[in-house]
Amino acid sequence: MDNRRRVTRKVLRQRQLGALAVIAFVVLLFVVLLAKCTKNMGEGSSSKAETTTTTVATEPVVTAPPETTTEVTTVAVNPKASNVKLSKRELFLEVGETDVPIIQAYPDAGTSESDEVWKSLDPAIAVVNASGYITGVSKGQTYIVLSFKNYPDIEIEIKVNVGGVDAPAVATTSILGADGETVTTTTTVAAGIA
């Protein structure tokens, strides 16, 4: 024989409402206790504010500041030039090798690749094409200059060392910053030091 009792929908609803009432009562009790504890903590902190403090006066020690001289040098910098960000400001190439510094930020939102003007200060050592690809021609050191058609007063120099120049060990690390801007760190190690 089956001893299970059937429960009607009405009884089931009554049980569910009873359970909800118990849960609501427990939550209400919790809120009241929390409010009471918060109130007691507030009263406790106000009694601490009534403590007495004693101040001891001491004579100040006066020392003469060391004499310093400051030389101020003012350099006029085009603020838009500081907005230009390159992946590399110095290159180490062998003869025939090609590399390109990547422009990560332009001086103005309206500037694009078509506004770039690249030139080599010594084409006998390194040449550069209109897209910024730099190729080593012969041993030596020169600079590649980047400027912009719509900002002719901005000139960014990139140092190029082609073969025969002792190139230090260079480690470059790029990290994406919190503001979404790439931060590049270049570490140079002197030759012979591990």
CB 126 within 8 A of CB 134: yes
Q: What is the pLDDT of residues 67-108, one digit of tens each?
A: 655 554 444 445 556 667 778 889 899 999 999 888 777 776
**pLDDT for 85:** 79
**pLDDT for 49:** 47
Q: What is the pLDDT of residues 108-156, one digit of tens each?
A: 666 777 788 899 999 999 999 988 899 999 999 999 998 888 877 888 8
The class that CATH gives domain 81-189 is mainly beta
How crowded is residue 151: how many other Cβ atoms within 10 Å of its Cβ?
Answer: 19
**pLDDT for 86:** 79
Domain boundaries, the chain: 7-45, 81-189
Q: Is the pTM of this model over 0.85?
A: no
In whole angstroms, give the CA distance from residue 97 to residue 44. 75
Amino acid at 99: D
In whole angstroms, give the CA distance from residue 100 to residue 91. 9
118: alpha, beta or left, given left = phi > 0 and alpha = psi -120 to 50? beta
Q: Which residues pair with 183 in a beta bridge?
A: 175
Long-range contacts of 163-166 (CB under 8 A, 24+ apart): 163/93, 163/94, 163/95, 163/136, 163/138, 163/139, 164/139, 164/140, 165/92, 165/139, 165/140, 165/141, 166/191
SS3 sequence of 74-135:
CCCCCCCHHHCEECCCEEEECCCCEECCCEEECCCCCCCHHHEEEEECCCCCEEECCCCCEE
Q: Output the CA–CA distances (angstroms, integers) from residue 89 to 2, 6, 86, 99, in the order listed.
A: 88, 84, 7, 12
CA atoms within 13 A on the CB side of 19: 6
Mean pLDDT over each residue of the chain, to the nearest integer = 75
Residue whose pair of structure tokens reads 């021609």 in the numeric block = 137
